Chains A and B, each alone.
Chain A
Amino acid sequence: MSAGGRRTRVGIQATVELMVNGDRHSLPVDTRTTLLDALRERLALTGTKKGCDQGQCGACTVLVDGARVNSCLLLAVAADGAEVVTVEGLASPDGALHPLQQAFVTHDAFQCGYCTPGQLCSGVGAIAEAAAGEPSLVTPPEAGGRGEPVPLGEEEIRERMSGNLCRCAAYPGIAAAVAEAAAALGGEPAPGLEPGPDPEEVSR
């Protein structure tokens, strides 16, 4: 241990197993490392952005075992064994954009682009959640919770995407892009909900 006091105290190490965008990683980390920092600083997946680092902006949103989460508040050790999809994992291996990525281009759903990776992962999660019948605050009381898809109108999209702030206020384009991709996907599950590709297949 260092004699320098609290700020320089040596961390405590742990090894985490993560499947990220289909690639398996065994990663020694300081237990204090968030999933966000593990992705950016250790795996060089800098598509995922650090905005507030406090769970207030959504820029760090990724899919963990199919569910969108704020990676800034999830410790890497707590994600041990999880399957993670980041913005780098949305497009097909052949480079074809995910339907939501294509819709963002079509609808000019960004300006500076800093929040976009989080918006994309969040949108993919939102579309899957609505398809699975998960209610939002604006879902009518008699709908939701029974496994029937919730239609994604503008009000639903805006409520479901409220965890992703855009300081450029590109919201009209973002809402339009999510609506278009939801229609195109027609209830397709989010990446990570299904078994990932065989890592050996990917590396070949």
Chain B
Amino acid sequence: MRPFRYARAEDPAEAVAALAADPEARYLAGGTNLVDLMKLGVETPARLVDVRRLPLDAVEETPDGGLRIGATATNTALAGHPAVRGRYPALSQAVLAGASQQLRNLATVGGNLLQRTRCLYFQDTGKPCNKREPGTGCAAREGEHRDLAVLGTSEHCVASHPSDMAVALAAYDARVEVLSEAGARRLALQDFYRLPGDRPERDTVLRHGDLITAVELPPPPPGVRAAYRKVRDRASYAFALVSVAALLRREPDGSVGEVRIAFGGVAPRPWRARAAEDALRGGPCGEQELRSALEREFTEARPLPGNAFKVGLAVRTATRVLTDLAEAAAATPHGGPHSQEDA
């Protein structure tokens, strides 16, 4: 590992200034991804600015009924927060579906958003990888790509985004609050992540020195039921092959009032399934309608031989999650014990 200087930042402005002064500096929070990548030689910072103990760890309900999640809140603190358990249940489930409790105790919300792909070739400095070393090529196309993306890829990169948390945040229309030397700004999560195109080395639109200070959630849509489901090779402690965060509200006549669907494991970023949502909104939500809307979302998929199974798996998983939500809504139309109206 390359030697590095280490300093603990006292406040966010100091952290931002420290990074601005050194192009080879990186922020360190929980370190569960960055330290690993430094051991592998994938990340080689000359300086770490530790932001984990900045006073940015509050999880607070906002006056408009939303939630403001400080960037240094741990995954554990977020998943167990009463407001998250009660009003954003798919977010709590998504966080708890990721990693292990040991890792969730260290990992932070800001760091989770910025974690890198677990593509084997990105993590292996002996192999070509356009994301790690632009212009060297992509070893995954001809290699092991079972875990990688089928949507939003480019000829240069087929990496998948590994976060569970971010998938639920996408479904809840999260915004990311960022501090830079120019001041604070807010970005919709969908604008925060970028697709690889011909610049796969850039996962997000952030610039050097930008510090995530919080994630903001608007109030959950009234009357929705929500769930997160993750499909993986073992029952726990594994990355998603496919995951789905879904929100659903049925109108009294049974039609779809509100629906939001986000996928993990299938794209370079959390994939909000807008085509499927548009197809479903206002119409019936039987299994047939759900399946055909979800298949529409994947018409643009460009799977590789080793991950073509993900298209069918994603459609089936989301169909099942939404069917379960629809049936639960039908069983207790005025809101059962798990509905957000009661929370």
Contact of B101 among A10, A144, A160 (CB under 8 A): A160
Q: How far apart are the CA atoms of A136 and B50 in the complex, in Å?
A: 28
- Interface residue tally of chain A, by bracket? 35 or more
CA distance A167 to B1 in the complex (A): 29
- Establish whether residues A75 and B101, one from each chain, have CB atoms under 8 Å apart when the complex forms: no
Q: Are A78 and B3 in contact (CB under 8 A)?
A: no
* Smallest CB gap from A121: residue in B: B102
- With both beta carbons as reference points, the residue of chain A lying nearest to B89 in the complex is identified as A141
- B22 to chain A: closest CB distance in Å? 14
Whether A137 and B96, one on each chain, are in contact in the complex, defined by CB atoms closer than 8 angstroms, is yes
User: What residues of A have a CB within 8 angstroms of the CB of B5 in the complex?
Assistant: 12, 31
B266 to chain A minimum Cβ distance, whole angstroms, is 21
Residue of A with least CB distance to B106 = A69
Cβ-based interface call for B117 (8 A) = no
Question: In the complex, what residues of B have CB within 8 A of residue A158's CB?
Answer: 235-236
A97-128 vs B, CB cutoff 8 Å, 1 = contact: the mask equals 00000000000000000000000001001100
A58 to B32, CA, bound (A): 13
Contacts of A80 in B (CB 8 A): 8
Q: Are B338 and A142 in contact (CB under 8 A)?
A: yes
- B7 CB to nearest chain A CB (Å): 9
| B144 close to A (CB within 8 Å) | no
**Contact in complex: B106, A12 (CB < 8 Å):** no
Q: Nearest-CB distance from B49 to chain A (Å)? A: 11
Tell me the complex Cα distance, A75–B93, Å.
Answer: 29
Known A-B contacts A14-B6, A146-B82, A159-B236; A68 and B32 likewise in contact (beta carbons under 8 Å): no
> What are 24 A-B contacts defined by CB distance under 8 Å?
A12-B3, A12-B6, A30-B3, A31-B4, A31-B5, A31-B6, A31-B48, A58-B102, A69-B106, A70-B100, A70-B102, A70-B103, A73-B106, A74-B31, A78-B31, A135-B92, A144-B85, A145-B85, A145-B86, A159-B235, A162-B100, A163-B100, A163-B102, A163-B103
Show the binding face of A for B, using Cβ within 8 Å: 6, 9-12, 14, 30-32, 34, 53-55, 58, 61, 67-70, 73-75, 77-78, 80, 122, 125-126, 129, 133-137, 139, 141-142, 144-146, 158-160, 162-164
List the 4 closest A-B pairs by CB distance, nearest first. Answer: A163-B100, A145-B85, A162-B236, A137-B96
